[in-house]
């Protein structure tokens, strides 16, 4: 079945929708209409990602950001031989390379595969040759650190995962100013030389570096849905803002609960996504509806992980 038909046929409440300019807010709420005018558009569906991507034209996506299954037997995946898993990833990555704009980026967020006998296999290490073999260039291996997760008894508990950021060419988008964070010493000045007395830091803030401390989405997180392993929106926002411009297209081929699409639409980009699980596509649709209605709650980018002014050290 063609993707365009499959999208419409999936269910009445889940269609492929472009909502730029749609009027969802009452006319007596100008502040919501103004918010809506800054949002992007989206297209989501319940579909196999290879089938979905093959319907898209080549070299039109400025960013592909996703977190594929880790082949560890989660409820949304079937555990398979590691080589079979890698072969499947290769097919998806090959299609992503076809769709990527020459100035575009791919961000592949992964953790570890755990074998049946408990050995840890870092997925970023074994996936890297696939990207490299397609001519993509690694720009950063970003470490995403978080504090909550499973408590291990036979090894140290895992508290980080990685994001492999690849570009297609040497000429790529990177908007550092859009994602700068406050400097540790904003008043620091040169103490000698021709610039003595001038501020030595960038007034817009500093580069956030390649170790990002962002809470993962657990039970008490404001964004928690029925998905067991969802992206925090602020994680994807940093990638969207730094690697795309307003109006650009962003794809998540393993959409899950829709955080990548939300982060894109929220910042004036066009979000595309697909997932094979109908219940997660339904969750993504509800979250997008909430975004357009002005009632979606997300954790703001840049909020401190711990703030002693609030009970428990957090405003959620």
What local confidence, expressed as pLDDT, does residue 11 receive? 34
Q: What are phi and psi of 91, to 5 degrees?
A: -60, -45
From CA 84, how far away is CA 126, in angstroms rounded?
A: 13
In three-state form (DSSP H/G/I as H, E/B as E, the rest C), the secondary structure along 82-103 is: HHHHHHHHHHHHHHHHHHEEEE
Encoded tokens for 64: 């592909």
CB within 8 Å of 108: residues ≥ 6 apart? 66, 67, 68, 93, 124, 127, 131, 163, 164, 166
Give me the helix-helix angle, 259-266 and 233-243, nearest 10°: 50
Spacing of C-alpha 279 from chain mean position: 20
**Comparing C-alpha atoms, which of 277, 283, 249 is closest to residue 63?**
249
Tell me if 127 sits within 8 A of 173, measured CB to CB: no
Q: How far is CA 68 from CA 17, 112, 252, 265, in A?
A: 24, 11, 10, 21
Q: Which residues contact 181 (CB under 8 A, 6 or more apart)?
A: 205, 206, 208, 302
Q: Which residues contact 9 (CB under 8 A, 6 or more apart)?
A: 1
Q: Domain residue spans in the chain?
A: 1-47, 59-173+210-247+259-268+296-303
List residues bridging with 167 in a β-sheet: 105, 137
* Signed CA dihedral, 201, 241, 95, 124: sign only: positive
The confidence score (pLDDT) of residue 230 equals 86
Residue 72: per-residue pLDDT:
61
- 33, with CB counted inside 10 A (0-12, 13-18, 19+), is middle
Give the position of tokens 């291990």: 152
- CB of 46 within 8 A of CB of 281? yes
Question: May I ask the CATH class of domain 59-173+210-247+259-268+296-303?
Answer: alpha beta
Which of 282, 227, 254 is CA-nearest to residue 69? Answer: 254
DSSP H or E stretch at residue 263: helix 259-266
Q: Do 224 and 218 contact (CB within 8 A), yes or no? A: yes
For 188-232, how does the pLDDT look when each residue is reduced to its tens digit (9 = 90+)?
888 888 988 777 788 889 999 999 999 887 777 777 888 777 889
Buried b (16+ CB within 10 A) or exposed e, 271-293: bbbbbbbeebbbbbbbbbeebbe
User: How much is the pLDDT for 73?
Assistant: 58
pLDDT tens sequence across 257-303: 999 999 999 999 999 999 999 999 999 999 999 999 988 888 888 77
Taking the C-alpha atoms of residue 136 and residue 141, their distance in angstroms, rounded to an integer, is 14
Tokens at residue 246, please? 């307003």
Predicted confidence pLDDT, tens digits, the chain (316 residues): 444 333 333 333 333 433 333 334 443 567 777 777 789 999 999 999 999 999 999 999 999 999 998 786 566 667 778 999 999 999 999 999 999 999 999 999 999 888 888 899 999 999 999 999 999 999 999 999 988 777 888 888 878 899 999 999 999 999 999 999 998 888 788 888 898 877 778 888 999 999 999 988 777 777 788 877 788 999 999 999 999 999 999 999 999 999 999 999 999 999 999 999 999 999 999 999 999 998 888 888 877 776 667 666 666 5
Which long-range contacts link 76-81 to residues 24+ away (Cβ below 8 Å)? 76/227, 76/228, 76/256, 76/277, 76/280
């Amino acid at each position: 079945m063609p993707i365009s038909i499959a999208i419409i046929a999936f269910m009445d409440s889940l269609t492929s929708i472009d909502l730029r300019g749609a009027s969802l807010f009452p006319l007596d709420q100008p502040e919501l209409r103004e918010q809506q005018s800054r949002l992007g558009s989206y297209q989501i569906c319940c579909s196999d990602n290879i089938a979905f991507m093959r319907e898209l034209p080549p070299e039109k996506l400025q960013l592909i950001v996703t977190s594929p299954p880790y082949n560890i037997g989660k409820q949304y995946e079937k555990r398979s031989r590691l080589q079979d898993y890698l072969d499947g990833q290769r097919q998806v990555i090959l299609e992503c390379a076809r769709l990527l704009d020459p100035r575009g980026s791919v961000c592949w967020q992964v953790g570890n595969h755990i074998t049946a006998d408990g050995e840890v296999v870092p997925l970023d290490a074994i996936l890297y040759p696939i990207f490299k073999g397609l001519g993509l260039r690694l720009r950063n291996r970003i470490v995403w650190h978080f504090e909550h997760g499973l408590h291990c008894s036979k090894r140290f508990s895992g508290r980080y995962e990685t994001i492999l950021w690849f570009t297609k060419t040497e000429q790529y988008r990177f908007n550092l100013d859009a994602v700068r964070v406050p400097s540790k010493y904003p008043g620091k000045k040169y103490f000698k030389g021709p610039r003595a007395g001038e501020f030595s830091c960038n007034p817009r803030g500093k580069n956030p570096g390649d170790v990002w401390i962002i809470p993962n989405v657990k039970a008490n997180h404001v964004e928690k849905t029925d998905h067991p392993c969802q992206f925090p929106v602020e994680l994807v926002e940093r990638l969207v803002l730094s690697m795309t411009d307003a109006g650009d297209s962003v794809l998540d081929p393993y959409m899950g609960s829709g955080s990548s699409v939300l982060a894109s639409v929220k910042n004036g980009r066009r979000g595309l996504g697909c997932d094979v699980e109908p219940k997660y596509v339904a969750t993504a649709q509800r979250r997008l509806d909430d975004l357009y209605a002005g009632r979606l709650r997300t954790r703001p980018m840049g909020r401190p992980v711990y703030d002693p002014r609030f009970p428990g050290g957090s405003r959620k």
